[in-house]
Amino acid sequence: MALSDIKLNFINRSSDVNNSTVVVFQQNVAESFGEIAIAWKVIENCGRLDNHPFTYPLNFQIAASDSYGNYTPRLDAVDGMAYEMVKDTSGDVLTVASVPATSSAEVEVRNNLTQGAINANIYRSGRLLAAKTNMAPGQKAVFQFHPRIYIGVVNQIVESDVMDSAVIKTINTELNLFGISSADIVMTGGGPGPGSLPFEFHLENINTM
C-alpha cells in the first residue's frame, strides 16, 4: 500500500522586509551528519501573510547516472532494498539487486560496473533530495531518512543546490513530521533595523494520521 503524502502549508507571519528565501531540506542519517545537504524545496517571494502549500511524500525515488552522462529512469525506493548499476547488453542500467540492503531501514545503491564512476540520486516529490557522487566500481551509497525536515532562511539558493556545512550550521530548526497528515509551518520573526528578531518556524493546525 502506498504511503500517504503529508500536506504542508507554509505561512509567512514574519516581519521580514528583505524578501527572504526559505529552504527546506533533509539529512541522510546513514551518512555523517552536517557535511552537506541539498536544497530540496525553496520558497521565494512569499510575502507577509502569504502562504505556500506543498506536499511531503513519504515515498521517494532513486536514480543513477554514469560517467558517460547517462541517467537511469527513477525507481520507487523501498527501505531494505538494494539497487545496483550493472552493464547489460543494452548498456549501463539500474536494477534491483539480488542481495538486499544491510539494514531494513536503509536503501543502498551499488556500483557494480567494471569501470566508470556513478552518481546515486534520491528524489522526493520529483525534486532532488540527496546524492552521493563519484562512486567508483565496488562502492555503494547508503540512504536513510527520518520523517523530519529542516527549514531556515538562506540567501541566493535554488532547488537542488548543494549546501555546505557552513550554511547548514545557520539552520537550526528541525520539524518532526512523524504521525502527521497535515500541518501549517508558520514563520515568525524578522523586521527592520536593530530590533529585528531571529526567524523562527513552528507547526500549527496539526492533523495526525
- Return the CATH class of domain 5-58+147-208: mainly beta
Residue 112 has pLDDT above 80, yes or no: yes
Rounded to an integer, the average pLDDT of 104-119 is 96
The pairing of beta strand 162-164 with beta strand 36-38: antiparallel
25-60 per-position pLDDT tens digit: 999 999 865 567 999 999 999 999 999 999 999 999
Judge residue 156's burial from the number of C-beta atoms within 10 Å of its C-beta, 0-12 exposed, 13-18 middle, 19 or more buried.
exposed
- If pLDDT is split at 50, 70 and 90, which confidence band does 161 have? very high
Residue 200 has pLDDT above 70, yes or no: yes
Q: Which amino acid is at 52?
A: H
- Which cell numbers hold the place of 11? 505561512
2 or 8, which is more confident? 8
| pLDDT higher than threshold 90 for residue 76 | yes
Average pLDDT, the chain: 93
Question: Which distant-in-sequence residues (6+ apart) come within 8 Å of 143 by Cβ?
Answer: 28, 30, 62, 77, 106, 107, 108, 109, 120, 122, 130, 132
SS3 95: strand
Q: Across residues 174-199, what is the average pLDDT?
A: 94
Residue 1's pLDDT is 35
Locate 123 and state its grid cell.
528524489
- pLDDT given for residue 34 in this prediction: 53
What average pLDDT does this structure show over 54-78?
94
Residues 180-190, mean pLDDT to the nearest whole number? 97
The better pLDDT of the pair 146, 166 is held by 146
- Of the given ranges (45-54, 113-122, 186-195), which has the lowest mean pLDDT? 186-195
Where in the chain are the domains?
Answer: 5-58+147-208, 60-143
User: Which pLDDT score, from 0 to 100, does residue 3 have?
Assistant: 61
Whether the per-residue pLDDT at 138 is higher than 90: the answer is yes
Please report, rounded to a whole number, the percentage of residues in the chain having pLDDT higher than 90. Answer: 84
